[in-house]
Structure 1
Amino acid sequence: MYDPIFAKSFSRFDRRRFGCFALALSLFVALSISSAFKPTLHPLTLIGDAVSLQLSISAVETMLIGDAIIDNVTAQSEDSAKNMLVINETAAIEPLNLIVTNESVTEPEKKWRNVEPLCRVLKPGADYCEIEGDVRVDANSSTVFLVKPRSYLKLDTNAASDWIIEPYPRRGTGFVKKWTVKVAAEDDGSVPKCGRLHSLPALLFSIGGFTGNHFHDFADLLVPLFTTSFRFKRDVHFLAADYKPWWPAKYRPLLLRLTGSEILDIDRENTTNCYGRLIAGLKFDSELVVADSATSSGASMHKFRQLLRQTYSLDRAIRGGDAAARRPRLMIVSRKRTRILTNEDRISRAAAKLGFEVVSAEGDRSTNLTKFAQLVNSCDVMVGVHGAGLTNMLFLPEKAVLIQIVPLGAIDVFAKLDFGNPAAGMKIRYLDYKIEMKESSLIQRYPADHPVIRDPISIHRKGWGVLREVYLNNQNVTIDVRRFRATLAKALKLLRR
């Protein structure tokens, strides 16, 4: 209470000094009281793929560090300062000092980075998201949450956005579950609490789509998985949606060279998995090609093929050495259902007369991939009608030759996109053999002046379904052996260079 008599006993200067001292004393007392009653904090989320952690022993005594999976963290310390998990994120941009508790993720004012857009569409139509921060994966709602303080969302209204994505390189297949990527406030009641915490980054992708087809297994998943995860050097979790148990089992030896952890069937998870970094979707530019956007990480088709050789014990990286001293080996990729090469035996005899050692093989889902890859790797030339079997060119040694037989129907573009263009990246010489009308079984079903024969583009305009049914599912090939012999001779000449 102010006393005017007491005040008058001091000079103006003395009163001013006394007032400043009293104010300082009041602030000190207030801060002391605040510290005494400060609420205890609980550690909750471990964030970041490359982090410097400052942890008290009491704060982490219940945590499992390494591939830190921390289940239902309940550890509590008597000292509130020891219950705080401080993370210094060592990214290529300005570091963030994040304080993680069971209630929120906070940091100094105005330090949030603008990470928009989280998601974008890559060519030719692949959803791709890169998310950093407090990332929570909730399988029950098929949602990936990026949790931020309410104050941040108020400052940046553009951040509060949702994206509906398909974590598969081809959008609109109809066989891929949609996921939501959502930026949410930490006090939003819909945001689930972390049940399991991970120090490694995560990669969310779908095993739906066209898996089961040998071409799509590699073009849509295995090559993009390699491309996207290469930078992590196996220190990454694979979260597989639309899980098919046989698929990881078939490619397990290769997948274990991409991740050091078991693949998680994310759809069956009943708890919320939390990460400091997550990628949803896969980098994809074109079929059987390592995406240009991944080359900065060191990924390349050359390195992917090295990985295949290591995985499947393939002896030949480059055709050479003893190849010149023996008969070149030619593999004919057989087909039994569609686009059958009806005179395969005659092609074999013609190739043998030119000096090739000929083998025929057909792979399917039950084929032992290691043995089949080793057989392909022993060959110098691969011949086959356009189809998934030509994907096995991946196992050929460099400087080998691929001969693609292109059926009738103006499908040259698809043939080149699927196998012609990728051959260059694999350092495989490529030849195509475009069949003539008389070599197609379609001439037996349609008159010579029918649009199917004379105007294939008009069939293309009716859509992919019609095109596929006419030219891919209902066409066989009978090769003109005399004409095809010239292509075999070209292959032999390439091998002798």
Structure 2
Amino acid sequence: MMYDTVLARSFSKNEQKKLGYWALLACMFIALSFFTIFKPYLGPLPVLNLRLSMGEDEKLHLFNDTGNPLLIAEENVTQNMKANDTSSSSQIIKEIVSEDIMYMANNTNSSLPKATDADVVKKNNRMEPLCTIRDRSDFCEIKGDIRIDGNSYNVFIVSSETDILAAENTSWSIRPYARKGDQTAMGAVREWTVKLVTRGSDVPQCTQNHSVPAILFSAGGYAGNHFHSFTDIIVPLFLTARPYNGEVQFLITNGWTPWIAKFKTILKALSRYQLISIDNRQDIHCFDSVTVGLKRQSRQELSIDPSNSPNSMKDFREFLRNSYSLKKTRAIKIRDGMKKRPRLLIISRKRSRAFTNVGEIVTMAKRVGYRVVVAEPDADVSGFAQIINSCDVVMGVHGAGLTNIVFLPENAILVQVIPFGGAEWLSKTYFEEPAKGMNIRYLDYKIRVEESTLIRQYPADHVVLRDPSAFWKKGWLAFQSIYLQKQNVTLDVNRFRPTLVKALELLHQ
């Protein structure tokens, strides 16, 4: 009140009104100045310009940054990685999530090329390889001046831009066999080194120049096993070589004559050129394009994931039918009144997991309504492929011989006999799941302990018969030595009969 009285005595009403207007304008000016000075920054953050670009295969180019170590981003794992600039100041921590395991250069100053770029990246006019790291296989796809020294197991990539290549060569170690993660298998695979080198360095001179691309792969690991030959080598080789339509040179490491002879039909169908055993050679083979290692798209055995590949198991099986001139494309479909009987193949074995009563099984199968063939796979892949392709149903105890289902016609049936001891997961992983991916219908039969010959080797209360899981706890070798290597099967034909009847019913559908 006192303030109003003093103001009234000092100024007239008009003067008071003018003073109020000026005070309001002054307040608005002050407020406008405040918001102008302290407004928030709404532009893009600089760190958001750092992007990781990936293509369909989620592959990342490898960079030769000798000043920074390579970081690894593991499959399906989110890792925080700190990038460092040349002044060693801290930069943003970037999360990287990927399907495969990929290399990333630890340098935020380097621009990352997209995975959809060419297979060879030019950084500072220098050729660099593109390597892909996956669960089951590593492989490098390289283009440029490539020289292969089989005596030292080196793959050299030579660049003519010697003045800007780093003093220290960049190298990658590759074991060209598609079963990475299995130490026993990979321990039997020769390691090759892919090196970036300058032309002025001590690089071997070409003695043989090739005009077609090359694929370098290994026949080591478990190649002596028929199943592993297909799942670790043949199927990945098909995926890697198929795009070249035969115009590709195969270079084999850990090659051995029996394996090459066994699969010569497949090798010749994928390449029009004579296979080169590259190990310990004194000559230097030179190419413009080389793939070191094989592409295995899936962790699943004997399978192709069509979502990650232009090919499928259907394509692979069609390729096999064409390669081996297999005539039967579809299993028989039984109709009422049809006199023709379906053909059943019983895969026999001479050693472990063999049927001890094949004669009884044959007699029962014929009574059910089958024509029966008994055969054992051998090194003659072509001959056995003809036999199994002529059949509608195949049965056998879990083992490598069942791999030959790849030659069965469409809609055929696999009956897998699962031995005693807890081999269900093996049977499912190795043959049940792959069979379904091949459009092969699947049945199985789990034997009881009474059908195992182990009851003749151990007393009834022995842990081998009473608690097989105890051997699983001891490890794979302990389980294998008993339940896979010492066991044969005496089928209870009366108990097994409904399984073959079920197969007949499926052939009616």
Between the aligned residues of both structures, percent identity stands at 44
- Give 1:292 deviation, angstroms: 4.9
Of 158, 164, 168, which aligns to 2:173?
164
Matched, 1:403 2:412: no
Structure-2 separation of matches of 1:325 and 1:396: 22
TM-aligned CA distance change 1:187 to 1:455, over 3 Å: farther
State the partner residue of 1:130. 141
1:426-480, CA deviations, whole angstroms, 9 ceiling, x for partnerless residues? 1110111111222112233334444433433331232322222111111111112
Of 145, 167, 170, which aligns to 2:156?
145
Structure-1 separation of matches of 2:195 and 2:363: 61
TM-score by length of 2: 0.70
State the partner residue of 1:413. 425
Matched, 1:180 2:204: no
Of 89, 93, 115, which aligns to 2:117?
93
Structure 2 unaligned runs (5+)? 1-114
Matched, 1:362 2:376: yes
State the partner residue of 1:212. 224
- Give 1:321 deviation, angstroms: 6.7
**SS in structure 2 of the partner of residue 295 of structure 1:** coil
- The aligned runs of 1:211-230 (5 Å cut-off) are 211-230=223-242
- The aligned runs of 1:262-273 (5 Å cut-off) are 262-273=274-285
**SS in structure 1 of the partner of residue 465 of structure 2:** helix
Structure-2 separation of matches of 1:422 and 1:379: 19
Contact 1:145–1:183 (CA under 8 A) maintained in structure 2 = yes
State the partner residue of 1:85. none
The residue type equivalent to 2:451 in the other structure is E
Structure 1 unaligned runs (5+)? 1-90, 98-106
Q: Could you say which structure has the larger radius of gyration?
A: 2
State the partner residue of 2:341. 327
- Give 1:151 deviation, angstroms: 4.7
Contact 1:119–1:163 (CA under 8 A) maintained in structure 2 = no
State the partner residue of 2:350. 336
**SS in structure 2 of the partner of residue 246 of structure 1:** helix
Contact 2:334–2:508 (CA under 8 A) maintained in structure 1 = no
Structure-1 separation of matches of 2:211 and 2:224: 32
- Give 1:410 deviation, angstroms: 1.5
Contact 1:283–1:291 (CA under 8 A) maintained in structure 2 = no
TM-aligned CA distance change 1:180 to 1:457, over 3 Å: farther
- Give 1:130 deviation, angstroms: 2.0
TM-aligned CA distance change 1:352 to 1:321, over 3 Å: closer
State the partner residue of 1:193. 205
Aligned residues between the structures: 386
State the partner residue of 1:394. 406
Matched, 1:439 2:467: no
RMSD: 2.6
* Greater RCO structure (CA 8 Å; 6+ sep): 1
Structure-2 separation of matches of 1:449 and 1:269: 59
Structure-1 separation of matches of 2:273 and 2:138: 24
**SS in structure 2 of the partner of residue 353 of structure 1:** helix
- The aligned runs of 1:52-67 (5 Å cut-off) are none
**SS in structure 1 of the partner of residue 385 of structure 2:** helix
1:96-124, CA deviations, whole angstroms, 9 ceiling, x for partnerless residues? 89xxxxxxxxx8x83447645x252x22x
TM-aligned CA distance change 1:184 to 1:282, over 3 Å: same
- Give 1:385 deviation, angstroms: 0.3
The residue type equivalent to 1:169 in the other structure is A
Contact 2:120–2:142 (CA under 8 A) maintained in structure 1 = no
Structure-2 separation of matches of 1:197 and 1:414: 46
Structure-1 separation of matches of 2:495 and 2:333: 31
Structure-1 separation of matches of 2:154 and 2:307: 26
Structure-1 separation of matches of 2:165 and 2:477: 45
Matched, 1:489 2:467: no
Structure-2 separation of matches of 1:225 and 1:437: 40
**SS in structure 1 of the partner of residue 426 of structure 2:** helix
In terms of mean alpha carbon deviation, does 334-343 or 146-155 score higher?
Answer: 146-155
Of 233, 237, 243, which aligns to 1:231?
243
The residue type equivalent to 1:93 in the other structure is D
- The aligned runs of 1:280-359 (5 Å cut-off) are 280-284=292-296, 285=298, 286-292=300-306, 295-296=309-310, 299-320=311-332, 325-359=339-373
**SS in structure 1 of the partner of residue 197 of structure 2:** strand
Structure-1 separation of matches of 2:458 and 2:504: 36
TM-score by length of 1: 0.72
Structure-1 separation of matches of 2:119 and 2:494: 68
Structure-2 separation of matches of 1:463 and 1:260: 44
Of 236, 260, 279, which aligns to 2:291?
279
Structure-1 separation of matches of 2:476 and 2:139: 25
TM-aligned CA distance change 1:402 to 1:166, over 3 Å: same
Matched, 1:203 2:215: yes
Contact 2:352–2:486 (CA under 8 A) maintained in structure 1 = yes
- Give 1:194 deviation, angstroms: 2.1
State the partner residue of 2:475. 463
State the partner residue of 1:43. none
